[in-house]
Structure 1
Amino acid sequence: MSTTTDPAQAPTAAPAPSAQAAQPADIEVPRGLKGVVVTETALSDVRGLEGFYHYRQYSAIELAERRSLEDVWHLLLLGELPDAAARAAFHARTAPLRRLPEALRPLLPALAAATKEAGPLAALGPALSIAAADRGIRPLYDTAPEQRIEDALFATALVPTILTALHRLQHGEQPVEPREDLPYAANYLYMLTGREPAPAEARAIERYLIATVDHGFNASTFTARVIASTGADLVACLVGGLGALSGPLHGGAPSRALDTLEAIGTPDRIDPWIRERVLAGERIMGFGHPVYRTDDPRSRMLRGVAEGFGGDLVDFAVEVERQVLAILAELKPGRELHTNVEFYAGVVMHLCGLPSEMFTPTFAAARAIGWSANILEQAADSKIIRPAARYVGPPVPQPVPSR
């Protein structure tokens, strides 16, 4: 059968390339893609000039103050805040997923031993990959949307169990089996310490986890979405996010901020210690943020959580914050440097009994939920993320030298 084409609807030939035509590499973009919009999302946004961020249509800080981690998890992955019945159903759906797969159990001691110096986050990726292979998780490209959600719930529910098991093994202790009757945050602390946490501790960690579940197109979220755009499996995307989060300029800052408090030691040392480092051009961990030009709302909330516990460490942290901000305003006028989430995050986690080597892994346990939501959103768009780079090497073409 033959067909004819309406000349009016026939595609026009593309114009011949011009030597003057702009190429992708000629487009000026800021370093680090700062402020460049690379996609659309219905998940979250950060308004740095306002000091405000949100998950879907709700203030993230208000969610942290009023709702549970499971509620926010439900919101991001399933699109809405649950009512009481949906909350119970979601807990019944996710709590059994906390258990370690039998194929992974005998391998964890070797993974823990191999990464003892690096910490549990270094072994989380391999452990998740083994669990994914055992479950038969397939590439996103080959998986129906409903199965993608099931895979996301499986992986994110398992992350806290793997992290706490690795930490305990690295310290000569046996893993603690998860309890399905406990909420996410309380169960996390229980698996880490072996004791059921006080309600104030569990709630403090839950508020921290909710506040750090997602935060716009940060480096690790963008990394996870780039991998998702290739159609790779969901756990491969999570492992990519973990790699980005391990950097000290991203997820590694809470422990370093607490190290700063310990290094300063006493109130009389705050001013000289901070001035010396600022004048030397060193970064003060816990201060400054690439997006916020006002107070980080997460820092404000966590300062309130810390002050609820009280004590010498909290009083000292508040005084350090006051003096650091004054020194930064004096020595770096106009830079709009404020306290960020990492400063009080370390204090709160320390007060709740978490060792410093578990600060970044705890951040990862929260952020894995946000990554999963972003991965699922990206998987719905089959367009691969493939930007361009500007070549700045020697002029081309050059003749290839003879041997």
Structure 2
Amino acid sequence: MDTTKRPPRDRMDDRLIDVPPGLAGVVAAETALGDVRGLEGFYHYRQYSAVELATRRPFEDVWQLMTNGRLPDAAERESFARLVRPVRRLPEAVAAELPTIARLSAGSDLLGGLRAALALAVPAYGFAPLYDQSEDDRRQAAIRIGAITPVLVTALYRLQQDLEPIEPRDDLDHAANYLWMLTGVEPDERQWQAVNAYLISTIDHGFNASTFTARVIASTGADLGACVLGALGSLSGPLHGGAPSRALDTLDAIGSPERIDSWVRDAVSSGQRIMGFGHPIYRTEDPRSAMLKQIARGFGGPLVDFAIAVENGVQQVLDELKPGRGLHTNVEFYAGVVMELCGIPRQMFTPTFAAARVIGWTAHILEQAQNSKIIRPSSRYVGPPPPQPFD
């Protein structure tokens, strides 16, 4: 028997594992919050179909499902409403700074203004590091962040338009309040249902870039606000959160039904990406797109007819020029149409997405905070071999 003493096998070099670029297909953690099954065209929040929740439940119910782990009964729904109503009110010191933030962020992505506003709000609330908080304190912080995000983003938008911010109303639910604070007009039933469904459908969608960013920061024990700010920074990238308005820009660029075929062929031949089509996860129709298409059909009108014609035209050309690719519309394509029909301006598309996704982020942050293991991957050095002499 070889009794030679060997070095321990826990050295970092012994544990290096090469993974695909972008961590594609790598399981980085376990979650009970939901999953995306791309080959089936299905995704879920906990044990429920996300699309069924979006079409059958109010936003607050799904908020509770993600945060508390179950759908509420009538009494729990009212209890949660009583909890949320007061925490939507902004601290006076934060509200006083919003005109300055709106002015400084004018002409840029509203997410930048939202990050600045949240960066002020978090210390005003005295958020402690997740590492030092009880589970109940973390949950209270998560609910507060979820409640104030739509208030902040709508206020900043209105201030940039030289309009006064509008206070949330206690008699309106989350989706109706969002449209009320944004436009100053109480939405009709069809608008409420459309925005409610869109907001629910975008609460969570697996370990996307912003969600993973939030969990990485949470793993350090940082405060919940820092985790959300990091997620917002990730979302600001055009490859992640900026596509709904760009999909409408595509409709504008095409202009009319008779130009669809030639425009799409030119775009494909030049290697241009057609916004609103294709998804890195789904290999079949995006279930969110199918749901929003049905909602758009309920509105009807020239914009919806044109969007459907463009969808059909793009898929016909892609099937001819790129057979077997199976590219379908993703959530951004009909999301842009629905938001436009509900009176949400294009510069608010991505902030509206953020106002919903913050619920998913905070749910993931709460889950990650239960695990004391810091997320700390390795890298493989590929530069010039060290050490090199220098003068």
The equivalent residue for 2:107 is: 117
Give the Cα–Cα distance (whole angstroms) in 2 for the partners of residues 99 and 187 of structure 1. Answer: 13
Q: 2:46 aligns with which of 56, 64, 69?
A: 56
What SS does the corresponding residue of 2:35 show, helix, strand or coil? strand
What SS does the corresponding residue of 2:212 show, helix, strand or coil? helix
What SS does the corresponding residue of 2:93 show, helix, strand or coil? coil
What SS does the corresponding residue of 2:380 show, helix, strand or coil? coil
Contact 1:287 1:338 in 2 (8 A): yes
Q: 1:85 aligns with which of 72, 75, 79?
A: 75
Give the Cα–Cα distance (whole angstroms) in 2 for the partners of residues 190 and 145 of structure 1. Answer: 33
Amino acid at match of 1:283: R
Q: 2:218 aligns with which of 219, 228, 239?
A: 228
The equivalent residue for 2:268 is: 278
Give the Cα–Cα distance (whole angstroms) in 2 for the partners of residues 119 and 180 of structure 1. Answer: 29
Gaps of at least 5 residues in structure 2 are none
Structure-to-structure mapping, 1:135-174, within 5 angstroms: 135-174=125-164
The equivalent residue for 2:186 is: 196
The equivalent residue for 2:390 is: 401
Question: How far does residue 338 in structure 1 lie from its aligned partner after superposition?
Answer: 1.3
Give the Cα–Cα distance (whole angstroms) in 2 for the partners of residues 401 and 121 of structure 1. Answer: 44
Question: How far does residue 119 in structure 1 lie from its aligned partner after superposition?
Answer: 3.6
Structure-to-structure mapping, 1:314-333, within 5 angstroms: 314-333=304-323
Contact 1:119 1:167 in 2 (8 A): no
Give the Cα–Cα distance (whole angstroms) in 2 for the partners of residues 235 and 139 of structure 1. Answer: 9
Structure-to-structure mapping, 1:255-334, within 5 angstroms: 255-334=245-324
Give the Cα–Cα distance (whole angstroms) in 2 for the partners of residues 169 and 94 of structure 1. Answer: 24
Question: How far does residue 241 in structure 1 lie from its aligned partner after superposition?
Answer: 0.6
Give the Cα–Cα distance (whole angstroms) in 2 for the partners of residues 233 and 15 of structure 1. Answer: 42
Given the superposition, is the C-alpha separation of residues 332 and 22 from structure 1 closer, same or farther in structure 2, using an over 3 Å criterion? farther
Give the Cα–Cα distance (whole angstroms) in 2 for the partners of residues 191 and 117 of structure 1. Answer: 21
The reply to whether residue 379 of structure 1 matches residue 364 of structure 2 is no
CA deviation profile, 1:192-224 (whole Å, cap 9, x unmatched): 001111111011000000000000000000000
What SS does the corresponding residue of 2:36 show, helix, strand or coil? strand
Gaps of at least 5 residues in structure 1 are 1-12
Give the Cα–Cα distance (whole angstroms) in 2 for the partners of residues 240 and 15 of structure 1. Answer: 43
Amino acid at match of 2:246: R
Given the superposition, is the C-alpha separation of residues 17 and 318 from structure 1 closer, same or farther in structure 2, using an over 3 Å criterion? same
Given the superposition, is the C-alpha separation of residues 110 and 21 from structure 1 closer, same or farther in structure 2, using an over 3 Å criterion? closer
Given the superposition, is the C-alpha separation of residues 21 and 149 from structure 1 closer, same or farther in structure 2, using an over 3 Å criterion? closer
Deviates more, 1:182-191 or 1:121-130: 121-130
The reply to whether residue 357 of structure 1 matches residue 357 of structure 2 is no
The equivalent residue for 1:366 is: 356
Question: How many pairs align?
Answer: 387
Amino acid at match of 1:401: F
Give the Cα–Cα distance (whole angstroms) in 2 for the partners of residues 392 and 196 of structure 1. Answer: 58
Structure-to-structure mapping, 1:92-111, within 5 angstroms: 92-111=82-101
Structure-to-structure mapping, 1:60-75, within 5 angstroms: 60-75=50-65
Amino acid at match of 1:36: V
CA deviation profile, 1:224-280 (whole Å, cap 9, x unmatched): 000000111001100111011111111100000001001100001111111111111
The reply to whether residue 16 of structure 1 matches residue 31 of structure 2 is no
Question: How far does residue 22 in structure 1 lie from its aligned partner after superposition?
Answer: 6.1
RMSD: 1.5
The reply to whether residue 184 of structure 1 matches residue 212 of structure 2 is no
The equivalent residue for 1:45 is: 35
Give the Cα–Cα distance (whole angstroms) in 1 for the partners of residues 85 and 275 of structure 2. Answer: 36
Q: 4+ runs of 1 displaced by more than 3 Å?
A: 20-25
TM-score by length of 1: 0.94
